Amino acid sequence: MCELNKVKKAMAGNKVAFQELVLQEKDNLYRMAYIYMKNENDALDVVHESVFKAYKSIKKLKEPSYFSTWLTRIIINTSIDFLKKKNLYDVVPVDYEEVQGDINHAKVEERLDLLHAINQLEERFKTLILLRYYKDLSIKEIARDFNCPEGTIKAQLHRATTKLRMNLKEGTVYEKDPKRNGTN
């Protein structure tokens, strides 16, 4: 209930409450932007732009309990707009050398496989997969956000997961990457 009060305060113009809410969401916002943008600088630009848009329009938020979902939609829309402006829409380069950390090589490969496969999906399918499995939103919440029937979301999510499985199974995501399919 504390979070709901913060959202209401932010909607009333309380800058500190808004800042606290954004700080709580910052890691998720960055990850979501990075999935679309594929590089740190662009992802940070998208996050900054999205937070600015959210701050300007927080008073228009209809339901305070959906703050996180609302903010995620802003990130997704801003990412897509940014890609369109840069004519990068549908371009999905992944720099395998950028992946660092203590995660073992096999785990990194699995994550990159999945990320690459997700990036091959149409934008609507990619967004549905991210909202359902990354943000863990219910079908009902997604349907509300897209303003369409739950049955439509279920059908599209089924198509998206089927396409994602096909991409992973067939290895089609690597056809253009000689490093990944063993040809040099």
- Dump pLDDT digits (tens) for 69-106: 889 889 988 988 888 887 644 444 434 334 334 344 44
Higher pLDDT, 121 or 6: 6
Do 83 and 102 belong to one domain? no
Domain with 167 in it: what CATH number?
Answer: 1.10.10.10
53/171: higher pLDDT: 53
pLDDT the model gives residue 92: 42
CB 45 within 8 A of CB 82: yes
Residue 87 sits in the same domain as residue 102: no
Q: Give the total number of structural domains in the chain.
A: 2
Residues 112, 69 share a domain: no
| Residue in the structure block whose two tokens are 């113009």 | 13
pTM beyond 0.85, yes or no: no
Tell me the C-alpha distance between 25 and 109, whole Å.
27
Give dist(CA 118, CA 112) in Å, integer.
10
How far is residue 161's CA from residue 148's CA, in Å, rounded to a whole number?
19
Domain stop point among 68, 91, 114:
91
The boundaries of the domain holding residue 177 are: 96-184
- Judgement on whether residues 123 and 78 belong to the same structural domain of the protein: no
Burial class of 59 by CB neighbour count within 10 A (0 to 12, 13 to 18, 19+): exposed
Least Cα distance to 141 among 35, 55, 65 occurs for: 65
**pLDDT at residue 68 is higher than 90:** no
